[in-house]
A and B are shown apart, each in its own frame.
Chain A
């Protein structure tokens, strides 16, 4: 490129127009975004590279830990496993009873969801977006829209997939909105993220609503994206301003968004998936 006369204005304008058309395409065309997921494959090695030091440190610390610590942890995990097994036993009875009662009421049976265990391999450093990267991708059958949970509750949903990696948008992202209901009263609303990593909000809650600090919010299942009944947040602030028609409600996520290394990806309810004609299709 001849440089004597300064930067090429023509090339600059061309590239500018090119970039702008990419932006417009990306914002408006879902097909383009799908195609973009394949381009993400180029970046996958970089993301693995970035995660490598943390994994290395984890592996090293795993090898170096003392035997005493291991024995103690082993015992603790055994006890915990026993307690969880006992709860599962109770669960089986409750599920059966629930099914019977639903049948009595002629209500449709609850759909059981399949879960896949994934590991967190990256955190999006962009402070505008709250997103994390998980180590399952489209080659593992993960599709955009699948909810992600950890042991504490709902973390977010998958918003894009590459063949080996998927991107999960956390509930604290400003674009996130999850239909929820109060466990105590059944009051239904939508839980919004606002970019604050520790606090979520409920908008347009009438001042006469029965809602208190400490109420547990669970997913209501409305909207078909998140299955019903998973804890998502606990109400932390209820402010009634006499001058406003709506209260200000803030809630803290129950999932350990900044600490969980493992997450569960829940399969979408089968009724919402498009069945493939060819049985050979994976």
Chain B
């Protein structure tokens, strides 16, 4: 099953890239305008290779993201596991939607992710009153089509399933 093992490495490689992208600092003006890279990649792989990338994978990914972020440990584990669960429920139906509509679902999933972060921020500190915290959800939805297409080409090249 060397092929299978190679595939898992590739998938893990793309997640490393998503972690890298999530840590890139942006200029102050754009600080809310970032898509949730790890979440996007996670939903893609749950849709594409549900047998390889499941709830436990999402949990570990969330732990890594928490460590990278320096925030409350377990927060991203919680939200990414939840998102992976919902993706597992929805992926069959989502595969039939056009990309733009899929983007809407992604935006909603990211919105849920953002909401969890916002609540945790409220619990442990103060937060602003604006709805800016939902902006990453919008951008995640917008970035979904190109990321989907990019990763599709990737997966097809390595014939992953």
Query: What residues on A are CB-neighbors of B72 within 8 Å?
Result: 23, 26-27
Q: How many pairs of residues, A versus B, come closer than 8 Å at their CB atoms?
A: 119
Q: In this complex, what residue of B is CB-closest to A123?
A: B25
Against B, the Cβ 8 Å flags (1 = close, 0 = not) of A6-23 are: 111001100110111111
For the complex, give the distance between the alpha carbons of A16 and B82 in Å. 8
Residue in A6, A15, A47, A128 whose CB lies within 8 Å of B127: A128
Q: Is A19 within 8 A of B20, CB to CB?
A: no
Against B, the Cβ 8 Å flags (1 = close, 0 = not) of A164-205 are: 000100000011000000000000000000110100000000
Q: Is B78 within 8 A of A3, CB to CB?
A: no
Q: In this complex, what residue of B is CB-closest to A132?
A: B25
Q: Is B24 within 8 A of A125, CB to CB?
A: yes
Q: In this complex, what residue of A is CB-closest to B82?
A: A16
Q: In this complex, what residue of B is CB-closest to A175?
A: B125
Query: What residues on A are CB-neighbors of B62 within 8 Å?
Result: 19
Please give the number of chain B residues whose Cβ is less than 8 angstroms from any Cβ of chain A in the complex.
Answer: 47
For the complex, give the distance between the alpha carbons of A129 and B121 in Å. 9
A-B contact pairs, 14 of them (CB 8 A): A7-B55, A8-B54, A12-B81, A19-B75, A36-B67, A46-B19, A46-B23, A50-B23, A124-B25, A125-B34, A126-B69, A126-B70, A174-B125, A174-B127
Interface residues of A (CB under 8 A from B): 1, 3, 6-8, 11-12, 15-16, 18-23, 25-27, 36, 39-40, 42-43, 46-47, 49-50, 122-129, 131, 160, 167, 174-175, 194-195, 197, 258
Interface residues of B (CB under 8 A from A): 16, 19-20, 22-26, 28, 31-32, 34, 50-51, 54-56, 58-59, 62-64, 67-75, 77-78, 81-82, 85, 88-89, 117, 120-121, 124-128, 133
